[in-house]
């Protein structure tokens, strides 16, 4: 059973004539007759009495309401998809990590709402792993997160790197680790830590890093907001390993201190274990993610381009290459 057969059947039923139905559908009468005959052959009974006026048989009367419902459902679906391609979707859902929501998204959201006032924008702050999971499940349209290749390597995913940033140590202003300009790993692992809750990419990243080092992570408290991290850390000996952009507000707080992590290891046992696993800068990669099919939808593509335009590396991480001296 094909849609055009049902449409031909409805046209004949509504006009009472194969000839008039052909004119209504913009095809030849033989085409209408062939479509109705094919439908009758498939159903195994006649749908019309072939008299001066085409009248419905008992089978045709039973089929009529179902045909109308099927054709109307198809019309509604086609219209909805046409509106979607025209950018007339009712809402756009975004999931982003907390640091991006606070520091980078406001101008993106303002611009998008101006450009698409009829689209309801819904933004949820989530941990990276959770955000990628709901994107994969189709619950959000776009995610701005810390990269997790377990989710983003799928062929249907479209991923663009926005920036990379170092992981730093947040502590109280009077914490013992403030004596270091760059905190050695051997000292870092000796202190209890505040970590993000399960589902946040930073928790996974910290755990994996300590695992590669063969060191034990003393995670004594789990939180899920940056305000809570600052409030807890300033009270005592707890420290937190957080990305650079998550520490913007902390930099102006005199009760807190921030230190980078030392790259060069000493000859301690911990350093020997970590030398290959934790060499170089420890950074996280922030990415923009959606699915390939969603980029066909104008509002989603527009939001994607706005994020690419506005979400850039923090200025203090951008290194400007000095011009080389001219040797005469």
What are 94-103's pLDDT values in tens digits? Answer: 999 988 988 8
160 vs 198: which has the higher pLDDT: 160
**Would you say residue 18 lies in a domain?**
yes
pLDDT at position 233 over 90: yes
Overall residue count recorded for the chain in this entry: 328
pLDDT at position 23 over 60: yes
The confidence band for 276, taking pLDDT boundaries of 50, 70 and 90, is: very low
Q: Which domain holds residue 238?
A: 163-283
pLDDT at position 271 over 50: no
**Would you say residue 249 lies in a domain?**
yes
Long-range CB pairs of 322-327 (<8 Å, 24+ gap) are none
What does the pLDDT look like over 37-55, one tens digit per residue? 999 999 999 999 988 788 9
What total of structural domains would you count in the chain?
A: 3
Same-domain check for residues 128 and 143:
yes
Q: What is the CATH number of the domain that holds 304?
A: 3.40.190.10
What does the pLDDT look like over 88-128, one tens digit per residue? 678 999 999 988 988 889 999 999 999 999 999 999 999 89
What does the pLDDT look like over 288-313, one tens digit per residue? 999 999 999 999 999 999 999 998 87
Strands 157-172 and 240-243: antiparallel
How far is 258 from 165, CA to CA, in rounded Å?
Answer: 14
Nearest in space to 84 (alpha carbons), one of 302, 303, 301, 296: 296
What are the Cα distances from residue 236, in Å, to 33, 169, 246, 251, 254? 86, 14, 20, 18, 14
Sequence-ordered list of residues with C-beta below 8 angstroms from that of 296, at least 6 positions apart, any chain: 85
Using an 8 Å Cβ cutoff, are 292 and 152 in contact?
no
Same-domain check for residues 119 and 103:
yes
How far is 200 from 224, CA to CA, in rounded Å?
Answer: 8
244: phi then psi, degrees, rounded to nearest 5: -50, -45
Number of neighbouring beta carbons within 10 Å of residue 243? 21
Domain boundary among 55, 85, 115: 85
- Tokens standing for 203? 């928790």
Q: What is the CATH number of the domain that holds 35?
A: 1.10.10.10
Nearest in space to 149 (alpha carbons), one of 269, 285, 327: 285
Average pLDDT of the chain, as a whole number: 86
């Amino acid at each position: 059973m094909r849609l055009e057969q049902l449409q031909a059947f409805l046209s004949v039923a509504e006009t009472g004539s194969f000839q008039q139905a052909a004119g209504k559908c913009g095809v030849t009468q033989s085409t209408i007759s062939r479509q109705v005959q094919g439908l009758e052959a498939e159903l195994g009974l006649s749908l019309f009495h072939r008299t001066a006026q085409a009248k419905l048989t008992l089978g045709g009367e039973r089929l009529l309401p179902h045909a109308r419902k099927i054709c109307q459902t198809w019309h509604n679906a086609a219209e909805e998809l046409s509106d979607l391609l025209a950018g007339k979707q009712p809402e756009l859902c975004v999931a982003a990590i907390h640091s991006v929501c606070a520091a980078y998204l406001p101008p993106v959201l303002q611009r998008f709402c101006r450009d698409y006032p009829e689209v309801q924008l819904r933004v949820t702050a989530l941990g990276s792993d959770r955000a990628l999971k709901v994107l994969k499940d189709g619950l959000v349209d776009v995610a701005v997160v810390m990269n997790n290749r377990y989710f983003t390597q799928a062929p249907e995913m479209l991923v663009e790197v926005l920036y990379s940033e170092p992981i730093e140590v947040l502590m109280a202003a009077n914490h013992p680790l403030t004596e270091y300009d760059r905190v050695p790993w051997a000292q870092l692992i000796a202190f209890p830590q505040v970590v993000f809750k399960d589902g946040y990419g930073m928790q996974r990243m910290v755990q994996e890093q300590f695992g590669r080092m063969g060191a034990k992570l003393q995670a004594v408290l789990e939180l899920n907001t940056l305000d809570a991290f600052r409030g807890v850390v300033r009270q005592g000996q707890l420290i937190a390993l957080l990305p650079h952009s998550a520490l913007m507000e902390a930099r102006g707080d005199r009760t807190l201190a921030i230190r980078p992590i030392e790259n060069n290891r000493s000859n301690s046992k911990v350093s020997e274990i970590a030398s290959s696993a934790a060499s170089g800068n420890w950074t996280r990669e922030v990415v923009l993610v959606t699915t390939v099919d969603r980029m066909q939808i104008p509002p989603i593509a527009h939001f994607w381009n706005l994020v690419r335009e506005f979400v850039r590396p923090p200025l203090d991480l951008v290194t400007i290459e000095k011009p080389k001296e001219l040797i005469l």
